[in-house]
Structures are given as structure tokens and as C-alpha cells.
Amino acid sequence: MYPHSNHQTDKPILDVRSVSVRYNGRVALDDVTFHLHVGERIAVVGPNGAGKSTLFKVVSGVLQSQSGEVTISGSQPTVHSCIAYIPQRSQVDWNFPVSVADVVMMGRSAKLGPLNWPKKRDWDFVNHALETVEIGNLSKRQISQLSGGQQQRMFIARALAQEAELMLMDEPLTGLDTPAQEGLLDLLDTLREQKVTVMVATHDLEQAAKHFDRIMLLNKKIVAFGDPQSVLHSDNLLSAYGGRFRIIVDGHEDLLTLDDSCCDEGEHDHVH
């Protein structure tokens, strides 16, 4: 009943062609085209309202674009259960009566199929996923008792339990302290070893430059997409952010260290 992935391995894991999205006549994404290969790690940066969350929702097949096409390994997203959307922490009901292991087990709902209860193999999967993200000792905790970094790790574990091959993380670093951010970025290396392709929406251009293969600069359309050196120069940034960013020139390099000056809130896209 629930679909399982059917991958053509010669195709890019993600291929987005001329995708446009409008909400009530307002343009959210405008003619976006790009593709990703297996195991790549991409940072998506752009001002609030740039369409980062919208892009993730289209890619994961939760939202239908008005025009254009998205394919995952050669077929449309809605036949795949291998795409994990990791929500912004502010959009989660942390008082929901579930334990960490319960949440991670939710990732197996599709693989389990209807009317089946989790078996030992599924619990093994869950425990292994929790070990991978280094919170195996917290599996019985209620989710509100986790720190921000642990909450984020739990969702990555859930994506692993889902056997996700493409992870879309919406502002995972927002609101975390520096050690938690570093820990999470280290975890991305582990994901790369497992051939997981990762797209991360972030406000932190410095981290984007340091930890990602390619950077997508998005402001409804793709302003620039490529390696950090070529994307993060001031023309592109001015074009993406207008005057809404500050540049801190960092020593001798061409590379700018900069910071999106606005808002920790994230985008609020309304989907109906």
C-alpha cells in the first residue's frame, strides 16, 4: 500500500527543472533549476521569505509546484519514501506525549506497512539510528527533556530510521549554541559516509562556506549555485539580500565572512 523507492541509479538523486510556486498569486519560487548527485552536501542560503522552506516542500513532494518538474532518481517525489524533511524546531509540539524512541520509530511507519506493529528488526533500526547520532542513552526520554542539539539529532535519527537518502534540514543550526552546531556539522560527515545527500537551509553564511560542497543562494530564483568561493562574493549577496546583510571582511582571503543580519524566526510559508 505505501510506496517503496524505485531508483534508477544513473539519474541524479534530485533533479529540479523550471519549478515555480505561487501562493495566492505571490511568487514563492521562480523558475528554479538544479540537480544534486548522491552524497553531496548543499547549503541553501537566502533571506527570509526566499522560498527555502517552499523549495524543500516541493522537493519532498509535500507541495505541488504550479509548473516545472521534480524527479528523485528518475521518478516523481510522491512515489518515494526516502526523502526526509527535518522540520524547524520551532514548528514541533515538544509537549507531545512521545519518547525519543517513539519519534524515531515514526520514521519506520512506511516501511512497516499498514496494520503491522514494530518488530525486533525495527527496534534494532531505531536503536542503531540513535547510536549513530550519539543519543542512544536518551531513547526513553520525553522529547521536551532534550536540548536543542539533541532534538535535532533525534530528527536525524528518525530520518535514518526512515532509510532516507535525501535529507532536507530546515534551519537545523538556528538557536543552537556553538558546540551543538559543531557537533551537528560533524554528524553531517557521518551521513556523507552513508551516502546520504543533504540539503541544509541556513542563515549562517560562514558555516555554509566552511562545511558544504556547494552553496545555493536563493531569493525566489537561484541567484548563484556553486562552490562557496564563487557564490559568496558581494555582487551575488547584494542581489540576493539587497541591503539586508552586513559584511565582515575576514583578513586576507577573498572569501567574506558574513552573517545574515535578520531574524531568527525563519520563514512562515502557508500551505493550503
Binding site for other proteins (CB under 8 A): 1-3, 24, 57, 60-62, 78-81, 83-85, 87, 92-93, 96-99, 102-103, 105-107, 109-110, 112, 114-115, 117-118, 142, 144, 158, 162, 272
Cell numbers of 116, please? 503491522
Q: How far is the CB of 116 from other proteins (least distance, A)?
A: 8
**Residue with Cβ nearer other proteins (152 or 207):** 152
Q: How far is the CB of 142 from other proteins (least distance, A)?
A: 4
CA pair distance 197, 91, nearest whole angstrom: 23
Q: How far is the CB of 160 from other proteins (least distance, A)?
A: 13
**Residue with Cβ nearer other proteins (32 or 105):** 105
CA pair distance 129, 94, nearest whole angstrom: 20
**Residue with Cβ nearer other proteins (15 or 213):** 15
Q: How far is the CB of 118 from other proteins (least distance, A)?
A: 8
Cell numbers of 241, please? 539580500
Backbone angles phi, psi at 271, to 5 degrees: -110, 130
> Which residues make Cβ contacts (< 8 Å) with residue 156, sequence separation at least 6?
86, 133, 167, 169, 187, 191
**Residue with Cβ nearer other proteins (61 or 183):** 61
Q: Which of 123, 108, 121 is nearest to 163 (CA)?
A: 108
CA pair distance 19, 67, nearest whole angstrom: 6
Q: How far is the CB of 159 from other proteins (least distance, A)?
A: 9
